[in-house]
Structure 1
Amino acid sequence: MVTSPAPGEGPVRPMSVSLHEGTIAALRARTGKRGVSAYVEALIQRQLERDRLHELITDAEAEHFPADPAAVEAKRAILRGDTAGSADAA
């Protein structure tokens, strides 16, 4: 059985994308000319992870129920390090 490589695996192949000139300038200023591909690869992998996480959350909420917004905000406060008053809501 042949399987497709996972994100970040397999041979590297060139592809063309279109970006706004200002985006290209900012990207090159941050990465240098040779770092653009690695930077874009990392961004795409991170977005794919976020997309998969969103799909998992959507599936879980459909099967169980949506998360309580107050509980979600309490957990976000903990992640931000804002622990003042979060003990009651968590």
Structure 2
Amino acid sequence: MAMKKVTVTLPEELVEALGAAAREDAVPLSRLVASAAERELRRRVGRRLVADWQAEHGAFSPEELAAARAEMANADAQMFGVSGTAAA
């Protein structure tokens, strides 16, 4: 993947916290920031897909939302080794 150097302005406290997190994970700060940016773009795509689906099929029911939350909590529990209620 090609890389491009950019300049961004962030609050000093945020930069310090990001730097500490990057050091803790032993990754370059740029990789940590790029990963966060990628997650945000994926969330935006997901929200757009959900909005498109609901525009065509109607809003999700409370039961559908509860089932989806339970499924996500179970997936989190498997991935991160936490209880389903703690992951929710």
Same fold (TM over 0.5): yes
TM-score if structure 1 supplies the norm length? 0.71
Q: Give the ranges of 4+ consecutive aligned residues of structure 1 lying more than 4 Å apart after TM superposition.
A: none
TM-score if structure 2 supplies the norm length? 0.72
CA root-mean-square deviation: 2.1
Q: Greater share of helix residues, 1 or 2?
A: 2
Structure 2 residues not aligned, in runs of 5+: 75-83
2:48 alignment partner, one of 51, 55, 68: 55
Equivalent pairs: percent with the same residue?
A: 28
Shift of 1:34: 6.3
Say which structure, 1 or 2, has more relative contact order (CA 8 Å, 6+ apart): 1
Q: Does 1:30 align with 2:21?
A: yes
Aligned residues: 74
Highest Rg: 1 or 2?
Answer: 1
Write the letter of the residue equivalent to 2:15: I
Structure 1 residues not aligned, in runs of 5+: 1-8, 84-90
